[in-house]
Structure 1
Amino acid sequence: MTFAASLPRCSSVLAARPGEIVSKDALMQAVWPDTFVTDDSLTQCIADIRRALGDHEHVIVETLPKRGYRLNADPSDAADPNAAAGTERAKTRFSRRGFILAAIVLVAAAIGTYYGAQIWRATPVRSSDMPRIAILAFDDMSAGADKGYLSDAVAEGIITELARSKTYAVIARNSSFRYRDQPIDIRQIGDELGVDYLLEGSQQKIGGRLKVTAQLLNAHDGSHVWANTYNREIGDFFVVQEEIIRTLADRVGSSIERPLPKSDAAQVSALSYYLMGRAEIVEDFSAAGNELLQQFSLKAIEADPNSQFGYIGMAWTYRNDAVFWHKQENNPDEALKRAAEYADKAILLGPYDADSHHIRAQIHSEAGEMELALARFDVAIALNPSDPNILVHSAGVLLDVGRTDEAIGRIEQAKGIDPFYPDWFNWQMGWALYEKNDCGAALTAMRKMSRIPSGAHRMLAGIHACLGNQPEAKKALAVFLQDSPGDSISKQRKQWEKTYLAPGALDRWLEHMRFAGLPE
């Protein structure tokens, strides 16, 4: 068994026997039954679990000298009397027995996923030596309602897999896709994106058949490096995607050794519906857009209940509703609970899908589980380093806990990955600068958005209030309340008191909301 595979098993053995002392021999036999390993391997497993759980005092996973380890699902069970102060801190963070057991199992999956992603990574090279590559949006020659979605999925999957290798610097999809439906000047695009290679291609779905063409170009002189055409059954979508990835890796400078995915037409249908729903919420971040995302996500689950895509979409719909609109459950806590259930299902079905971990991290943060949120974001970032959206969402957790400068750094890092970054990065930067009490700069950031969506008007109201612009604050808040008419000071306090943890930050925000006219 590889060390990667041992991590989740080590965690699961402890989780299955909460409160019991598990000897070193028993753990090693359960985790490495057919392999000789030293005590160092077990020590490393325990250290990784503690790190992910934030168990710095070793009261959740307790060491009993010469006896073994014990998982204290209630930290007050810890036997060491000198750990009392640490126990109180741990009880604050993990107060419920059931939560601890769920947390350690989820962290086991996260750790396993993280290290599993390392199996095929090449040895990192200096960033200045990395080939830089941009995957352009594939042309779609298909007809029908899903036109455009599968072609984007081909390119997105290639971007994600190449970025994981640390052998390439891969441009984010938002920037490389902006050249869609434009005459292609290879050298111009190469100069604008600062890349060495471009991949372009097309996809055509005809009944149950799939035709994909792809060509790799040298961005410096426009010469062809490689080209191929794939004519397969629709269920071979992921197989074709993987074969292109392997060929690119081989041509640009690495090799990938892993099993080819299985043919699965139902999974392709589920992916198509999920991408349709995602496009709706990206286009219109509102209660109406969220409802369309839910409808397409349900269709994705119906098409393939055994793939993660529909569950990811459903998790986002309930998370969005919990934070912004309160329409589906009319109860933010219940909506967030439903979101967590869908996200956990997505991780179970798609443990190597960064989007599964991304939404789970977001839900952890909304629930005030900040240590778990940051650990889960680290997994998502490792699984897809080319996704700037994950970086920017992780910056939100840093803002909640008062690490403002780090958050601003992550947003700037995301902008570097995505030179033509989307509007909502300016929204997040507006929040970051608001937290820094640089509200003039925060307003400038918000005004860089081409269109401020309804959900962002609450932030805009807070920034105007910070600047003392009461008429503008009231006007902005009124736009937000059109989609969330029942919002109030008391609701916001209840919703955020467990997440908005930077000293004085919540009181300052609520005072600005009062100034903008939000009722008590």
Structure 2
Amino acid sequence: MERRLSAILSADVVGFSRLMGFDEVGTLTALKAHRRELIDSKIAEHHGRVVKVTGDGMLVEFPSVVNAVACSAEIQRAMPARNQNVPQDRRIEFRVGINLGDVIVDGDDIFGDGVNVAARLESIAPPGGIMISAAVRDQIGERLCLAFEDMGERELKNIDRPIHVFRVSLDDAQLAPERLSLDALAVPSKPSIAVLPFANMSGDPEQDYFADGLVEDLVTSLSKVSGLFVIARNSTFAYKGTNPDIRQVAKELGVRYVLEGSVRKAANRLRITGQLIEAASATHLWADKFEGAVEDVFDLQDSLTETIVGAIEPSLRRAEIDRARRKRPGSLNAYDLYLRAMPHVHANTPADTDEALRLLNDALKLDPNYAAAHGYAAWGHEQRFFRGGFHPEDRAAALEHVDIALSIGANDAQALSIAAFVHANMTRDYEGAIGVLERALKLDCNSALAFGFSALANAHSAQCERAVEHAHKALRLSPFDPLNYHPYCALAIVNLFRSRFAEAAAYSTLAIQSNPHFSVSHAYLAISQVNLGNVAAARAAAQRLREVAPGFTVGVFERGPSSTKALAAALRKSGLPD
């Protein structure tokens, strides 16, 4: 059954039954006149297709959300003049709801969740008003000179999840005077990417299936990355067999980043190359090549998908952070403030934590329902609690943000992962945290963040095999991630529990190299060196620990996760004060 991504407009007449009760013939005559003289021509002008008309309502499909909103705004603005000489209680007024979603095509009709959400948005629109989903708002960007009022998340009838809703304000703004082109879509506020068909460079037409399957897997896997807008495969495969200009592709698809690549077969080997490009500047953000045996083609496809997604996600994150840094302070929105907080979150020093919390709090003032920002704010307060004196207000703030992140971020793998880990550290409920982290990994099986936190949670609860598995998974997915001190610390903890002190020292050192300012890594190294009999090395690690965190003591370590009497005793022998 055919599917496609469409902008869906649902409209109906306010109080139609009441109007029909007053005057059936007059109401139907007036409604037909509005459609003939205004509505049908506007829909055609904006390249819409009337799917069905149901008495007082209609369902219209557009190839562009920009055109859908522009069309509805022009119609709603024209209606007051058409109703000027009609008594108030006899006027025909429309409600409109617009959504961007996947639809099932059956002949000339369309069905599915995308249609249902549009209908429910229409039902909550005021007379003469337009309600749109957040997906529509993201696509519009600044393409229309319209104001949008953020109505927050709303529970809609028979929709199994809250929908973030915006109201289109028609009072003060005017539509852009120029006709909007279908070949220029607005870039969403969040990072957006299109995966172009990979070129088959082998001269073997049979390898097309492999290249196409790899791209399809990449699109599916990238779609699971929280906060990433991914263009559907059907749209990008329109470029198959062409050599398009990347800037034009990005303009036509409304994306910020483009991934392209090639497949080459030589003897019994396959070589796949990929490169990630920021379209506006044509800058290469990441490039790599991968090889494998032809006989292992499907295993290779799975491995490539996992590796490429793992490499792309942190590359996109760094590019987005750099983009936010270039924006003027007065133009920052919640997403930009969140991005600016990320390097400070990753640094994990007292000063950086304070700055991260300042930026995250500013983001949450603009968007109180930003689940990931609540998660990172919880983490910031958790860091301050354990490394800043165990102040009860930090504990309370951490748990408050955890509760919000868990309640509004049920489908956000990133928010769930951070909130679960923070809650576990504050309450020692590692079993509960592991359950939430497993849910996060079902939502996004390529999340290095979730695997890293899961490795630590399992290590803290002495589930060593699972901790090792998830630590290595995190490192394989994102080998250059600034948060890799998490899986390295998990491996250090496991080896300390197993009395494999040389391995514990090695992983502690790798954690320190990943983030020299994370105090606990130095503690694990000092403990490892004590147990190896390297007293001088242990004292050097303890001294470095005091330089990184002057207030760190054995008592602080004892109140943290994974502390045992044996580990605390070893840390005391390194010269760290009680």
TM-score of the superposition, structure 1-length normalised?
Answer: 0.48
Q: Which has the higher helix share?
A: 1
Q: Which has the higher strand share?
A: 2
Highest Rg: 1 or 2?
Answer: 2
TM-score of the superposition, structure 2-length normalised?
Answer: 0.44
